[in-house]
Amino acid sequence: MKLPDSRPGLVLGSNSPMLHCVPDTWLHLDSGIRSPEVNMAVDEALLEASAALGSPILRTYGWTLSAATFGYFQHHAEIEALTPLRPLIRRPTGGGLVSHDADWTYSVVIPPGHARYRVSAETSYRLQHEWLRSAFAAVGVPTELAPCCDSRGPGQCFIGAEKHDLLHRGFKIAGAAQRRNRLGLLIQGSVQPKGLEVSRTVWEAALREVCRDVDWQPLVAAPSLEERIRVLVAGKYGSEVYNRRR
């Protein structure tokens, strides 16, 4: 996809501790459509492998069936009462309930030692949604970051809004959850595209196109990564015991 030369870049202001799209090498993994438990396992496996891979990763993916994910610290019994979607899968990140019946999902993995890894959680969240805002602007969809909080629907990601969530015409269309540990930083994001006059394929291409100075390289999953994914599915994300652990 070729975007017009006038498309905005990710210039976040002189007070920003870093720009998102500084000259860098990133890996891109298009996972295609996978099952809910595999999707969560892939993200955790990539987080575990991030230091060895050495470069940030953008993963884009879809779902074989409707499902819902919920934050690592949430209570399964409370989530059951909030949505009819099944299965319910506990994410490796925090945040609230997210319905995956029509959304566009992506994840970002940052290795330890990278500049993005060192910023605060709030700054990381803002940087992520500035990137999404730039991509939407490039394809003609105006969006803005939420200036503060809307506390409707506690525990449900897309009812109400948190600071720096992405809004379109006053309604939240994108949110994310994060997990940072010694292995790296994992961001899991969801876009609710209802009412957006752009296709997923075009928007995903824009995510990479707006980062003009990034050298995008394909990530080819090694056999060891695929085996780790299988282990995580069997022992965690495909297990009712794990998903109901609290």
Q: Is 93 a residue whose pLDDT tops 80?
A: yes
**CB neighbours of residue 107 within 10 Å:** 26
Query: How many angstroms separate the CA atoms of 72 and 177, rounded?
Result: 10
Q: Which parts of 113-232 fold into alpha helices (H)?
A: 121-138, 200-209, 223-232
Q: Would you state the pLDDT for residue 1?
A: 36
What fold, for 29-243?
BirA Bifunctional Protein; domain 2 (3.30.930)
Backbone angles phi, psi at 15, to 5 degrees: -85, -5
Catalytic machinery residues: 157
More confident residue, 95 or 155: 95
Q: Would you state the pLDDT for residue 208?
A: 96
What distance lies between CA 141 and its chain's CA centroid?
19
**Could you tell me the pLDDT band of residue 147, with boundaries at 50, 70 and 90?**
confident
pLDDT tens digits for range 100-146? 999 999 999 999 989 999 999 999 999 999 999 999 999 999 999 99
Which residue is associated with the tokens 């948190």?
162
Mean confidence (pLDDT) of the chain: 88
Angle, helix 121-138 to helix 200-209, in steps of 10 degrees: 120
Query: How many angstroms separate the CA atoms of 241 and 208, rounded?
Result: 38
pLDDT tens digits for range 29-48? 999 999 999 999 999 999 99
For residue 234, the 8-state DSSP code is: I
Amino acid, single-letter form, for residue 31: S
pLDDT tens digits for range 151-205? 555 455 556 578 999 999 989 999 999 999 999 999 999 999 988 999 999 999 9
Question: Can you tell me the mean pLDDT for 207-224?
Answer: 94
Q: Give the residue extent of every domain in the chain.
A: 29-243
Amino acid, single-letter form, for residue 89: I
In sequence order, the 6+-apart residues with CB closer than 8 A to the CB of 206 are 1, 3, 135, 136, 138, 139
- In a 3-state reduction of DSSP, which class is residue 70? strand
